[in-house]
Amino acid sequence: MNLSAMLSESIQQGQTTRFYPGIRESFTELTGKLWHGRRGSNSNMANMKKIAELAGVSLGTVSHVLNGTARVREPLRKRVLEAVRVTGYQPSQLARGLRRDKTNILAMIIPDILNPFFPGVVRGAEDVAFANGYRLVLCNTDNDHGKEVMHLNALRTYLPSGLIVIPSDFSDLTAQTESYRRAGAAVVCIDRLPRNWNGDSVTINNTDGASNAASYLIGLGHRHLAVITGPLHLTNSQDRLKGFKRALRQADLELAPGYMQEATFDRAGGYAKTKVLLKMVPRPTAILACNDLIALGALMAIREEKLHCPDDISLVGFDGLDLTETTTPQLSSVYQSPYQLGAAAAQLALDRVAHKDAPVKHIVLKTELRIRDSVAAPPADMSASPPIRHRKSRSVAS
């Protein structure tokens, strides 16, 4: 029996190490007293070395079996898989990430998960991530650019494969995100875009959405339309305002001074600005609120002023959150799918990971005008022309 035959047999029995006793022992002697490792802790967790020993193969082979990076003959392959099964071994994502320069992590930076629009976005992204074996790390910025940069910098050292950002504001993120790209990570911006953004993105058609809503109101006979926008340093706010103005222009209407109010994207903002609008003369007969929380605040203000929606004033929100169904009256709103937004972003990020040099993609999702009970024709004395009759609960895709 020659050496290689012995080796071969020994491998079959999983005892390779026996054949270099001198080397092994002296190595052990050398390092035995230099042990600096941690005690206990993870030592009971299986690692690749243990699998290799159990299966009687080399480390490399185990890796190849696990990753399909090379052909491995069936018997060996089986022994490896069996060893994995028996030990319940799972590869260390840390070691793998360290070696591959990239982990199965998708980082996501959003303004605030407490804003009811964002959970859907997160869920969409998480589902796509999970389905592809990725995990989602979530960070909230509170729309604070400083916090955003902190997150951006800190997360990078985990070497995520991708990064999905809803920018806190119009600040230029090029410097930060560029370092991700250099490190080979995909970066996708969604919902709003920062200044100078030239990477992948997923947004909705804010302009058309707002335009459709305004057109619908105009179609009902409204001539005194007001708008409460979100913070105008956000691109989505800007676009919604643009759409609103476009609809007015197309109907040869003017945006009366003061009929445009800028608010924060929350109830308080909507409440305050609606109070202002309701004091105007003539009072607007319809309000487009640039998100549902603003609309909610508007509804409170309207109620508080002893006015009635939709008889005295029509109201349309934006986003189409669940809460629009539980208000009284139910809120009409420009619906967009946060889930789809998040899912598309995650998918785009993963695509980018797979094809680093594919052309940049800008996905623009559609909105859908959902008419519920908060809109009606204007009071008779306020309408310049007879209102056009519309079915209720009509949906208009933009």
Interface residues toward a second copy, by CB under 8 A: 38, 41-42, 44-45, 90-95, 97-98, 101, 103, 105, 112-114, 116, 118-120, 122-123, 126-127, 130, 135-140, 153-159, 182-184, 296, 299, 323, 326-328
Q: Among 98, 354, 388, 397, which residue interacts with DNA (rule: CB under 7 A)?
A: 98
Q: Does 84 bind DNA (CB under 7 A)?
A: no
- Which residues are CB-contacts of 45 (< 8 A; sequence separation ≥ 6)? none
Kindly tell me the burial class for residue 266, based on how many C-beta atoms sit within 10 Å of its own C-beta (0-12, 13-18, 19 or more).
middle
CB 138 within 8 A of CB 122: yes
H-assigned helices in 159-285: 174-182, 206-219, 235-250, 267-278
The site partner of 153 among a second copy, DNA, none (C-beta below 5 to 8 Å per kind) is a second copy
Binding mask 247-276 for DNA (x = CB under 7 A): ------------------------------
Taking the CA of residue 85 as centre, how many other CA atoms within 13 Å lie in the half-sphere pointing to its CB?
Answer: 6
**CA–CA dist 46, 304 (Å, integer):** 66
Q: Among 15, 18, 26, 70, which residue interacts with DNA (rule: CB under 7 A)?
A: 70
Nearer to DNA, 70 or 384 (CB): 70
**CA–CA dist 217, 200 (Å, integer):** 34
Shortest separation between residue 6's beta carbon and a second copy, angstroms: 28
Q: Does 96 bind DNA (CB under 7 A)?
A: yes
Report the chain's C-alpha Rg in angstroms: 30
Shortest separation between residue 12's beta carbon and DNA, angstroms: 10
The site partner of 156 among DNA, a second copy, none (C-beta below 5 to 8 Å per kind) is a second copy
The candidate with the shortest Cα–Cα distance to 165, out of 146, 154, 151, is: 151
Could you list the residues that contact DNA (CB under 7 A)?
A: 4-5, 7-8, 11, 16, 31, 33-38, 42-43, 45, 47-49, 56-64, 66-67, 69-73, 75-77, 89, 91-92, 95-96, 98-101
